Amino acid sequence: MDFQIVLPGKTLAGKGALSRAGLEKYGKKPLIVTGKHTAKSAAAAELLKYAPAGVIFDGITGEPTVGMINSGVGAYHDNSCDYVIGIGGGSALDSAKAIAAMSALGGNIADYMGKEIDGEFPPMVLIPTTAGTGSEATRFTIITDTEKDIKMLLKGDKLLPDLAVLDYSYTFSAPKSVTAATGMDALTHAIESYTSRRANPITDTFALSALKRIFANLPTAYNEPENETAREQMLIAAYEAGVCINNASVTIVHGMSRPIGALFHVPHGISNAMLDIKCLGFAAQGAADKFAATARAVGVSDKQDDAAAAQDFLTALEKLCSVVEIPTLAEYGIDREKFFAAMDKMADDALASGSPSNTIHEVTKQDIIDIYASLWD
């Protein structure tokens, strides 16, 4: 078996990890990429103690767009910055990667869709304040092209940070809805990478570890937001799952989720969770053994029959979605007629992303359309 593992240059974990970061070695004046809420947080205030010359760019208002990235690149150059720090949820971290890359490359980031992003980029430090996307551990960034109404999956080893800082105390202030969305995103990363055609022994180990942590701790993190053990375990799980997708990729859920986010503005983790049961039920038809192994590993089945154990996993997943109050499309307020009218385009966009092709069970355009339609059953 041939495979490779790529990781961040360095990872620091634990409460107060930023004090051990030695940010001065990365440059003198960072552009601090974040959102307006995080910019006012205790985490940002602590960061500025260690990077006092930092310039705050808080223009990441929701999931990042080409326009936001262009504004961030402008801020980087206008303030003569020499490295980039991303602090916040996945949107801020993805934006920091894109801004770092485009500050060196120039041009339009949309031109890099489907290509490997490479070059000599400024140093990059990523600090998550949510436990879900695992962006601090991946070679990917997701940016919305608002002109084409698509979410672009952009990739390159140079998008991995020089330093990832995992301080679970920064996640205490995440609202319940964000805890649910990001936690389900991490879960989806872990199960998709574990059941991907590109899975390998290393990612399998990380994926099962992440899934065990998530099933054991997400309900507690959701209901007890300042529970230190649950928050720490979820942040570790999100990082593990990020390592997994970085090296084994994702499958049908993410492929189908991105178009929902692009067209109907559903947060990424929520759109994943809305799709999980139907998509993973489909995927399990070609990988019952892997889904069964997952069920046994997380303690939701002791059945020896793989198909039965795989179904136990899907049942447990459905219960977890209920515990963290994942809405349906209708409950979220999406118009059924508009959704059905968009399904053909969404199916094309899902296939074009390449993610569904990693699913062991072969996926056709009609399969995707049928799954989209089944979300309204």
* pLDDT (average), residues 187-215: 98
* Confidence grade of residue 62 (pLDDT, cut at 50, 70, 90): confident
Residue 179 in contact with residue 195, Cβ under 8 Å? no
Report pLDDT for 230: 98
Residue that the structure tokens 């890359």 belong to: 101
Residue 161 in contact with residue 9, Cβ under 8 Å? yes
Burial 14-40 (b: 16+ CB within 10 A, else e): eeebbeebebeebbeebbbbbbeebbe
In a domain, 325, yes or no: yes
Residues 6+ apart with CB under 8 A from 196: 248, 249, 250, 251, 358, 359, 360
Residue 368 in contact with residue 347, Cβ under 8 Å? yes
The mean predicted confidence, pLDDT, of the chain is 96
* Residue 159 sits in the same domain as residue 198: no
* Residue 137 sits in the same domain as residue 197: no
* Residue 215 sits in the same domain as residue 274: yes
* Residue 334 sits in the same domain as residue 267: yes
For residue 348, pLDDT over 90 is answered with: yes
* Residue 17 sits in the same domain as residue 152: yes
Rounding to the nearest 10 degrees, give the CA dihedral for residues 244, 247, 250, 251. -120
* pLDDT (average), residues 166-185: 96
* Residue 90 sits in the same domain as residue 189: no
* Residue 146 sits in the same domain as residue 19: yes
Q: What confidence tens digit (pLDDT) does each residue in 225-259 have?
A: 999 999 999 999 999 999 999 999 999 999 999 99
Last residue of a domain, one of 153, 171, 189: 171
* Residue 205 sits in the same domain as residue 218: yes
CATH number, domain of 318, equals 1.20.1090.10
Rounding to the nearest 10 degrees, give the CA dihedral for residues 63, 68, 70, 75. -130
In total, how many domains does the chain have? Answer: 2
Report pLDDT for 307: 97
* Domain region containing 36: 11-171
* Residue 151 sits in the same domain as residue 184: no
* Residue 231 sits in the same domain as residue 83: no
Q: Are strands 140-145 and 150-155 parallel, antiparallel or unpaired?
A: antiparallel
* Residue 161 sits in the same domain as residue 16: yes
CATH number, domain of 46, equals 3.40.50.1970
Q: Order of strands across the sheet with 124-128?
A: 11-13, 163-166, 124-128, 83-88, 30-33, 55-57
In a domain, 85, yes or no: yes
* Residue 292 sits in the same domain as residue 162: no
In a domain, 1, yes or no: no
Q: What confidence tens digit (pLDDT) does each residue in 322-347 have?
A: 999 999 999 999 999 999 999 999 99
In a domain, 321, yes or no: yes
Residue 238 in contact with residue 128, Cβ under 8 Å? yes
In a domain, 165, yes or no: yes
Last residue of a domain, one of 148, 171, 194: 171
* pLDDT (average), residues 108-117: 90
Last residue of a domain, one of 127, 152, 171: 171
